[in-house]
Amino acid sequence: MRHTLPIAPQFYVTAPQPCPYLDGRMERKLFTALQGDYSEQLNNALSKQGFRRSQNVLYRPSCAECSACLSARIRVADFEPSRSQRRARRRNAAVQRDATSPWATEEQYALFRGYLDHRHADGGMADMDIFEFAAMIEETPIRSRVIEYSKTQDGKKQLQAVCLTDVLDDGLSMVYSFYDPSGSSSSLGTYVILDHIDIAREAGLPYVYLGYWVPGSAKMGYKARFSSLEVYAGGEWQDLGDPERFTAETHPLSTDPIAEQVARISLPDTRPTR
């Protein structure tokens, strides 16, 4: 019988840079590389501890005096759509879903550019060119899919929305989604999340991971409108409940020292059973 040590990745911290969610603040991330034979196991384990994937990196906010960013996920079995979410389903009844391999196309990039220019013109991705976009979509060492949403108009299929989605052992992680900004009135963004809940339910997966919810950030406020939402806070998943109980206020003791954070991360054991 052979024995191997558990995965022991190296963790690093980024230099502070302007926060994209809360004005006047600086963000800092704790991150590690996602590579090698055990990428799937590491991604599964760290996603359950508030980490997110970006290409070949797993990261989690670790700001010096702020702990506002909370990883959020929907419990699929308990989810009940609101009245407005049921309307979003009806408005998008003609939308067709296609799941493909993580491969970037010019049509996707054109939709992405229109979305950024309309919704996030001053964001950190605003200058992303087609090569960087392709890297975002295609550089994945784990099981990922591109979920495309289209409508057929005048006999021609037109792309309406796209979501880069990771398949975890306990759910779907919506890595990044974008849509035709003219579809805001039909709640396309909401519909994409609702459809991912359907996909997860059909696959027997208990969660849909939405990324970070940030109290005080208008950009992230929509996530709190989904029922059965959980957030990762204080080292555990808990019901969001009343969003007002979470605060975006800063405090010098908001974040534990990096060494303590890393010491508490649970890593997957890769030892074979025999």
Percent of the chain past pLDDT 70, that is, above it, reads 93
- Residue 121, pLDDT above cutoff 70: no
CATH fold of the domain at 72-245: Aminopeptidase (3.40.630)
What's the pLDDT at 269? 79
What's the pLDDT at 253? 82
Q: Note if the pTM is more than 0.95.
A: no
For residues 104 and 134, is the Cβ–Cβ distance under 8 A?
A: yes
Kindly state the average pLDDT of the residues 129-157.
94
What's the pLDDT at 182? 81
What's the pLDDT at 2? 42
What's the pLDDT at 271? 60
pLDDT tens for each residue of 144-198: 999 999 999 888 999 999 999 999 999 999 999 999 988 667 899 999 999 999 9
What's the pLDDT at 117? 85
Tracing tokens 């040590």 back to the chain, one arrives at 5
- Residue 223, pLDDT above cutoff 80: yes
What's the pLDDT at 36? 87
What's the pLDDT at 1? 37
Ordered DSSP codes for 222-265: GGGGSSSEEEEETTEEEE--SGGGS-----TTSS--HHHHHHT-
Pair of tokens at residue 127 = 């200058």
- Residue 4, pLDDT above cutoff 50: no
3-class SS of residue 101: coil
Q: Round the average pLDDT of the chain to a whole number and report it.
A: 91
The gap between the terminal CA atoms of the chain, to the nearest Å, is 6
- Residue 114, pLDDT above cutoff 60: yes
Instruction: Give the orientation angle of helix 188-203 with respect to helix 83-91, to 10 degrees.
Output: 90
CA 36, distance to chain mean position in Å, is: 22
Kindly state the average pLDDT of the residues 206-210.
98
pLDDT tens for each residue of 15-52: 999 998 899 999 999 999 998 889 999 999 999 999 99
The phi, psi pair for 156, rounded to 5°, reads -120, 135
Pair of tokens at residue 130 = 């087609």
Domain extents for the chain? 11-70+249-263, 72-245
